[in-house]
Structure formats: C-alpha cells, structure tokens
Amino acid sequence: MFNHFTRLFWGIEFDFGSPEAERYDLKGKQFALLVQERCFSNGLVIMAFGGCANLEGTKGDHCLLSPAYVVTTEELDKIVDIFARSVEEVLVEHASV
C-alpha cells in the first residue's frame, strides 16, 4: 500500500521551558540537535531547528520529518518508531535524576 501526498512534512516541537524540563541536563546543547544526531545514528535522516520559536531566535526545539513522496505504510511506521526511540534515548541519556 502506498500513501500519496503532495506535501508530507511533519513538524515536532519540544518545549523545554516547563518545570518538568528541569529533570534533564542537556549540557548547554539544543534538544532538537541531539535528537537529530541520534536519529542519524539510528538510520533516520531528519532536520533539526533550534531557536526559531521567538523573534530573538533563542527559544524552540523543532524537528522536521519529510518522508519520500511515495512511501509505504510500513516505511511510515519505521520512521515513527526510529524517531520515537531516538527521542527516548536522548531523554534517558540526559536525565539528571
């Protein structure tokens, strides 16, 4: 089964401005860039953006996933699985508790 889309972009925003975010020590790095590195290590190419959620360019962690124009349901499942696993790995690695 193929999924045909004219534009298949998934944007994911992470909020590290909440009190819950204090549980993580990112060592001065932007979360989205850490996720991008981990996704690449896990076999998935994504695009990460940091600092584009405010005018000053100092807040915001975003990841963009852009699968091929023609992609199977199984491939979409694999993309989601690798992305979610990569996010979880980065969170576990940087947990300060």
Q: Where are the domains of the chain?
A: 2-93
Q: Whole-structure pTM over 0.75, yes or no?
A: yes
CA dist., res. 51 & res. 65, Å (int): 18
Report percent pLDDT > 70 for the chain: 85
Q: Give the residue among 35, 51, 12, 18 at the shortest CA–CA distance from 93.
A: 35
Among the four given CATH numbers 3.40.190.10, 3.30.360.10, 3.40.50.1820, 3.90.1150.10, the one describing domain 2-93: 3.90.1150.10
Could you say which DSSP state residue 24 is in?
Answer: B
Residues of the chain where predicted confidence (pLDDT) is lower than 70: 1-7, 53-55, 57-58, 97
Contact predicate 8/64, CB 8 Å: no
Q: What is the DSSP string of 33-94?
A: HHHHHHHHHTT---EEEES-SSTTS---EEEEE---SEEEHHHHHHHHHHHHHHHHHHHHHT
